[in-house]
Amino acid sequence: MSTEHNFSIVARNISKTFQITEDSHNTVKHRLFNLFNPPRAKKVLALKSMSLDVVKGESIGLIGRNGSGKSTLTKLLAGVYKTDTGSIDINGTTMLMNLGVGMSHELTARENIYVSGSVLGLKIKDIDAIFDEIVDFAELREFIDTKIKFFSSGMVARLGFSIAVKAGADIMFLDEIFAVGDMKFQEKAVKVFESSWIKGKTVVLVSHTMDIIQKYCQRSAYLKKGELIYFGDTATAVEMYLKDNE
Amino acid sequence: MFIKVVKDWIRRSNKLERIWLLAKIEFKLRYYENKLGLLWALIKPISDIFIYYIAFQKILNQGIPNFVSFLFIGLILWNFFVECTSGTVQILSTKKYLYEYTNMNKIEIYLSTILANCIGFFFNLFFFIIFYEFIDKGTLGLSWTAFYFIPIFINTVLLALAFSTILSSIYVLAKDITQIWMVITGIGFWVSPIVFNLEKFRTALPGADHVNPIAGIIINARNVLLYQKSPEWNLFVFDFIYAAILILIGAFLLNKVGSKASEKL
């Protein structure tokens, strides 16, 4: 495991600070009228400088209490947020999944399947080939040409999950995904997760359920107050996390 | 950034397919969702032509030969530019669902929206050619110089892309750029030769054809399509340089400010 192209993600000295402005200086008018009264910005250090690598095909866990920086780290590693320092090399398409994927409510389920599939790197003929599987998995065949703004939140989540299951990206970031749909759907989701994602893709799994982390992840990162405290074998990371929760 | 996009295209060939898919859906949403459908794309320039014909040809009596064709080509180019830029000011907010969950390159979102506008433009251009060649009497007709329209239109697309990236990046920091751009395009319409005799325009507003890049585009489009002339080369080159500089500024802003859209918007 050691040549550079064996890695899905190589992050070096990455950090992230959010600037939260107290006044609403988000118009040209405001900025002009307050030229000599700049907005008071509060800096929040969300992630302290850290480095980590994710090997192709491995499944790693991200654990830590609320506000520890897990979501920020996933967004940085997925290429959605820009890092303030350091660099991230991402080798492949990424998908950040948090109860579904990004979909437009102005589009029909059919259009969303094609758009999401294409964004995840599939060619149209590949999407054609898995289209029926996605529709059946989501149990939405009779609503396929309905705009998803008319769907219930459960239907939208099922569609998003089904697209992710069948289309997927090279690197999947899964943030508490086992909460989608009813019990029957969850059982189905877990089966697919085990058979196709864990075996075939690079997965970064975020969860507060330690059983899930221990079952699926070879290595895990433990974060506390924006700092990477430990990155290594899952048992040690979980032990540190549980101790912190005592 | 642009070199990286081209390299990516070569490596992963679904990008062109994706841009076309997004463009088709955008086009469908815009025109097929209302009862008039694609005709709506044509009704806008026709109603504008009617109003300006009455005002500038009948009342002010400018005496421009084939005034309807003269207006038609000017208006469809101007409307294309305004629709591309106004439609993309808020693009980082309205199309957030495309980049918020993946590492998709944002430039593809701009290209697909501009491509959707190109479909509408070509539809209008087709009707312009029919009107100019077969309905408008006393025209010179199209000649080989019409082929110059291809680089002129490419120049228009580049300008639209440049302004789109600049405006949408500014939108991340200042939301009222939408209203400000509406005012600027309103002024830009009158600081262009769309409805005016070119000589009078140049006498009254010297240099305006260089300040407003679409003015130069319209002047050259009329030269090559209506008058069987070559483009005015200084304007032709100037507008390409204009577009190149603005594209660099747009790429810089998109990289600096637009890249923070997912956390700021």
> Considering only CB atoms, which chain A residues are within 8 Å of B174?
26-28, 30-31
- Enter the tokens of residue A187: 């059982």
The answer to whether residue B122 sits within a structural domain is: yes
CATH of the domain at A87: 3.40.50.300
d(CA A180, CA A195): 18
3-class DSSP state of A147: strand
The answer to whether the CB atoms of B17 and A118 lie below 8 A apart is yes
Mean pLDDT of A121-143: 89
Chain B CB within 8 Å of residue A101 CB = yes
> Considering only CB atoms, which chain B residues are within 8 Å of A114?
21
B111: nearest Cα among B178, B167, B158? B158
For B18, the closest of A102, A104, A119 (CB atoms) is: A119
Chain A nearest C-alpha distance from B48 (Å): 30
Chain B nearest C-alpha distance from A201 (Å): 15
The answer to whether residue A87 sits within a structural domain is: yes
Mean pLDDT of A17-28: 71
The answer to whether the CB atoms of A97 and B101 lie below 8 A apart is yes
What are the φ/ψ torsions at residue A75 (nearest 5 degrees)?
Answer: -65, -35
**Residue A29: closest C-alpha in chain B:** B176
The answer to whether residue A187 sits within a structural domain is: no
First to last CA, chain A: 36
Mean pLDDT rounded to a whole number for chain A:
84
Residue range of the domain that includes B89: 13-264
The answer to whether residue A183 sits within a structural domain is: no
Confidence at A212, pLDDT banded by 50, 70, 90: confident
CB half-sphere exposure, B138, CA atoms < 13 A: 6
The answer to whether the CB atoms of B174 and A26 lie below 8 A apart is yes
pLDDT at position B13 is 62
The answer to whether residue B113 sits within a structural domain is: yes
* Per-residue model confidence as pLDDT tens digits over A151-193: 888 888 888 888 887 887 788 888 877 666 677 777 777 777 7
d(CA B237, CA A30): 38
Has residue A23 got a pLDDT over 60?
no
The answer to whether residue A15 sits within a structural domain is: yes
Which residues are registered as beta bridge partners of A219?
A60, A233
Mean pLDDT rounded to a whole number for chain B:
87
Chain B nearest C-alpha distance from A238 (Å): 27
Q: Is the ipTM of this complex over 0.95?
A: no
The answer to whether the CB atoms of B259 and A82 lie below 8 A apart is yes
The answer to whether residue B8 sits within a structural domain is: no
The answer to whether residue B2 sits within a structural domain is: no
Q: Pick the residue with more confidence: A183 or A224? A: A224
* Per-residue model confidence as pLDDT tens digits over B215-253: 999 999 999 999 999 999 999 999 999 999 999 999 999
**Residue B30: closest C-alpha in chain A:** A106
The answer to whether residue A232 sits within a structural domain is: yes
How many structural domains comprise chain B?
Answer: 1
The answer to whether residue A195 sits within a structural domain is: no
Choose from B8, B13, B14, B257 for mutation: most chain A CBs within 10 A.
B14
Chain A CB within 8 Å of residue B174 CB = yes
B128 contacts: CB under 8 Å, gap ≥ 6? B69, B72, B73, B76
Query: Residue for token digits 């390159």?
Result: B105
Tally of CB atoms within 10 A around A173: 26
Which residues are registered as beta bridge partners of A45?
A17
Percent with pLDDT over 90 in chain B: 47
Chain A nearest C-alpha distance from B134 (Å): 40
**Residue A28: closest C-alpha in chain B:** B174
> Considering only CB atoms, which chain A residues are within 8 Å of B263?
18, 81
Has residue B211 got a pLDDT over 70?
yes
pLDDT at position A1 is 42
* A·B CB contacts under 8 A: 82
The answer to whether the CB atoms of A31 and B262 lie below 8 A apart is no
The answer to whether residue B7 sits within a structural domain is: no
Phi/psi-derived region of residue A169, left when phi > 0, alpha when psi is between -120 and 50, beta in every other case: beta
The answer to whether the CB atoms of B176 and A27 lie below 8 A apart is yes
Residue range of the domain that includes A231: 4-92+207-245
The answer to whether the CB atoms of B175 and A29 lie below 8 A apart is no
Has residue A51 got a pLDDT over 60?
yes
The answer to whether the CB atoms of A104 and B99 lie below 8 A apart is no
For A122, the closest of B14, B98, B180 (CB atoms) is: B14
d(CA A142, CA A132): 12
* Per-residue model confidence as pLDDT tens digits over B25-75: 888 888 777 777 777 777 888 888 888 888 877 787 777 888 889 999 999
The answer to whether the CB atoms of B102 and A82 lie below 8 A apart is no
The answer to whether residue A198 sits within a structural domain is: no
How many structural domains comprise chain A?
Answer: 1
Has residue B12 got a pLDDT over 60?
no
A11: exposed, middle or buried (C-beta count within 10 Å: 0-12, 13-18, 19+)? buried
- Enter the tokens of residue B33: 């969702």
The answer to whether the CB atoms of B21 and A90 lie below 8 A apart is no
